[in-house]
Amino acid sequence: MPDFVRRVPEGQDRERLVCRTCDYVAYENPKIVVGSVIHDGDKVLLCRRAIEPRRGFWTIPAGYMETGETVAQGAEREAWEEARARIAIEGVLAVYSIAELSQVQIIFRAHWAQPGFAPGPESLEVRQFIWETIPWAALAFSSVGWALETWHQGRLEPLPAAVLNPAEDRR
């Protein structure tokens, strides 16, 4: 483990992790989680987590964004990894900040690009739920409930904002 200490580097205004030996500054950045509410009519897809934290609880397909991908690509990758689902992103449903974890969650609304789903290695079970059967008491995280509520309120409307990259800059 590098020998970091927390101090204010010269010319800066807040504490950073600085190596005692070589003054290297390891900037700590908030982490981005990308995920999607995948809907089909009045049904949404949920995964029962096979891993900690919150093993056995239900979540939308979501996970840490990797370097070198767009937010939409990250959400598509997570849908495949956790639910073996091929999805088409419709737009940004919500942007949640979990400040105490320094985490930002970018949640998309998506529909099926191809039919079919199955548990990936991080899921015990994958199922579609209609609104009345969503297992509210067994959701893994508060933000899963927020995203489902937001989807339900606006599920019949288009998603005009927030926009993603212009088409010519999309990969």
Per CB under 8 A, does 18 bind its own copies? Answer: no
Per CB under 8 A, does 162 bind its own copies? Answer: yes
Residue span 111-150 as binding mask against its own copies, x where in contact by CB under 8 A, dash where not: -------------------------------x---x--xx
Place of tokens 């598509």: 76
Q: How many residues bind its own copies (CB under 8 A)?
A: 51
Instruction: Please state the closest distance from residue 113 (CB atom) to its own copies, in A.
Output: 19
95 bridge partner residues: 106
Residue 14 CA, chain-centre distance (Å), reads: 29
Per CB under 8 A, does 10 bind its own copies? Answer: no
For residue 137, give both structure tokens.
């008491």
Between β-strands 16-19 and 4-7, what pairing exists: parallel, antiparallel or unpaired? Answer: antiparallel
For residue 171, give both structure tokens.
């990969």
Q: Do residues 87 and 111 make contact, with C-beta atoms less than 8 angstroms apart?
A: yes
Per CB under 8 A, does 87 bind its own copies? Answer: no
Instruction: Please state the closest distance from residue 22 (CB atom) to its own copies, in A.
Output: 6
- H helix or E strand, kind and range, residue 91: strand 87-98
Give Rg (Cα) of the chain: 19
Nearer to its own copies, 88 or 164 (CB): 164
Binding site for its own copies (CB under 8 A): 1-2, 14, 19, 22, 24, 27-32, 64-73, 91-97, 99-100, 102, 104, 106-107, 142, 146, 149-150, 154, 157, 159-166, 169, 171
